Structure 1
Amino acid sequence: MSELLGEFFGTMVMVALGVGTGAAVNLKKSYAKNANWFYIIFAWGLAVTFGVYVAANFGSKAHLNPAVTLGMAVGGYFPWDKVFTYIVAQFIGAFFGGLIPYIHYYAHFKETKNEAEGNHVGIFATGPATNSPIFNFIDETIDTFIFVFVLIHLGNFGEGLKPFIAGFLVIVIGLALGPTTGLAMNPARDWSPRLVYTIFPVPYKSTANWSYAWVPMCGPLLGGILAALLNYSLQNYIL
């Protein structure tokens, strides 16, 4: 139970800070309105860092991400009997993490009256800069492949200063590869806040774009699995 609470609260903190950044740079009358991509990615990197610290303090593996949990299990670094409960805790934590900025920025949503002014699902979830679903899927697969492959080589990334390394890993992937899709790398981070946007009465909200949502679900899961399989092959058959 302690591990699951860690995954829940760690993911909640990560998503609350990350989605909060999305609200800050998009909604009218926010002091951070129209901040640049570096601002967003740097904030998301720190959100991951402090989410990992919270989760690790509860005794969890601090995955905060179904793609990481599944990849670690495929590679033999995490027990299969914990996969389902970890992933459920992550999705629920991400849902509450998405709910916090909705409440916090409610007055700003009321001031931002249409998508053109910044009131859109991109505050909560990812979307492509260029709508090309197959390439968007490939991009998310590549991003998450690199992310999980590096995490595997960090070992226990919840100890010491390693959460900062994980956060800076998110930053560098976001800067180098993230501008094509908004850098999901995490199905829970995308789907749960997207659900918050869908079911809660966000003032003047537009479409939640569920037709795109298979990309941030399937791409990261495949990327995590491929990273684990490659590392397993290297360790057992080549090196």
Structure 2
Amino acid sequence: MSSSDIFIGETIGTAILILLGAGVCAAVTLKASKARNAGWLAISFGWGFAVLTAVYISGPLSGAHLNPAVTLAIAIKDNDFGDLPVYWGGQLLGAMIGAALTWIAYYGQFHAHLTDREIVGGPGAQDTRAKAVEAQENQAGPVLGVFSTGPEVRNPLMNVATEVIGTFVLCLAVLTQGLNADGKGLGTLGALITALVVVSIGLSLGGPTGYAINPARDLGPRIVHALLPLPNKGGSDWGYAWVPVVGPLIGGAIAAGVYNVAFA
């Protein structure tokens, strides 16, 4: 596959992944959404189906990595890092596009949510929140969870460990069961297996951090959250942003090492 196919496939696939994944988070979170308060089960299955849809769409072009940690794991397995920057670039761009499309799809709900006095406070809430963000960089705004993950208990070491473990499970599943004939991406059966693994990770390991298990999935939408003209949106929690990048990359690398020792 050519570099252009890889870049286009990863951009489109990751955009679909984030549109549907962040979309279910928006549906469950935002005021005036028909699915509000649907709960963690809806989020876990929503992300699993998002993976399934995105893989089937982008697989023929790029192999549907859709995740820098998966790309790193496959590169380590094959000892071939030549296409890594192309994959990562497409994944980050696609994640940003998907986050922006989620904002467009839920524009009315974002406005209703972020102008509700019960959520953001009374008159002057925008000025008050702006001062709070200026004083505390790490503040997470009221809709950041639609875009990016955050810990329930903030402990960087433990939060990284959770992301490492979850991503290790994902990447080992991809490497052992899901690769297509050329070993460069997910096959048809692998797409279904991976989607179910994502649901399982969400239900079993998602509680502590929200299970980013994908650096692009977290970083791209966090950048979009910081840039979008959302009223009273609060901070983007940049103090935590390194955790869902570093943790998954470590998890992917460990999975590749285990695969090479135990399965290759």
TM-score (norm 1): 0.93
Displacement of 1:207: 1.0
Displacement of 1:61: 1.7
One-letter identity of the residue aligned with 1:219: G
Percent of aligned pairs with the same amino acid: 40
Deviates more, 1:198-207 or 1:90-99: 198-207
Query: Equivalents in 1 of 2:202, 2:237: separation in Å?
Result: 22
Query: Equivalents in 2 of 1:130, 1:182: separation in Å?
Result: 11
The SS at the match of 1:54 is helix
Structural RMSD (CA): 1.6
**Structure 1 residues 191-227: Cα deviation after superposition (integer angstroms, max 9, x where no partner):** 0001110011012211110100111000000000000
User: What does 1:202-213 correspond to in 2, within 5 Å?
Assistant: 202-213=230-241
Query: Equivalents in 1 of 2:115, 2:256: separation in Å?
Result: 42
One-letter identity of the residue aligned with 2:77: G
Which residue of structure 1 lines up, in the alignment, with residue 93 of structure 2?
92
Which residue of structure 2 lines up, in the alignment, with residue 142 of structure 1?
165
Alpha-carbon contact 2:56-2:188 (below 8 Å) kept: no
One-letter identity of the residue aligned with 1:173: I
Query: Equivalents in 1 of 2:108, 2:86: separation in Å?
Result: 35
Displacement of 1:162: 2.5
Whether 2:28 is the aligned partner of 1:12: answer no
Which residue of structure 1 lines up, in the alignment, with residue 25 of structure 2?
22
Query: Equivalents in 1 of 2:77, 2:187: separation in Å?
Result: 21
Which residue of structure 2 lines up, in the alignment, with residue 223 of structure 1?
251
Which residue of structure 1 lines up, in the alignment, with residue 204 of structure 2?
176
Displacement of 1:119: 3.6
Whether 2:149 is the aligned partner of 1:126: answer yes
Following TM superposition, where does structure 1 have runs of at least 4 consecutive aligned residues deviating by more than 4 angstroms? Answer: none
Alpha-carbon contact 1:112-1:204 (below 8 Å) kept: no
The SS at the match of 1:180 is coil
User: What does 1:57-76 correspond to in 2, within 5 Å?
Assistant: 57-58=60-61, 60-76=62-78
Change in Cα spacing, 1:233 to 1:131, as seen in structure 2 (3 Å) is same
**Structure 1 residues 159-212: Cα deviation after superposition (integer angstroms, max 9, x where no partner):** 223211110100001111111100100000000001110011012211110100
Task: Return 5+ residue gaps in structure 1 as ranges.
Answer: none
The SS at the match of 1:64 is coil
Q: Which of 1 and 2 has greater Rg?
A: 2
Query: Equivalents in 2 of 1:160, 1:227: separation in Å?
Result: 22
Which residue of structure 2 lines up, in the alignment, with residue 101 of structure 1?
102
Number of residue pairs the alignment of both structures matches:
234
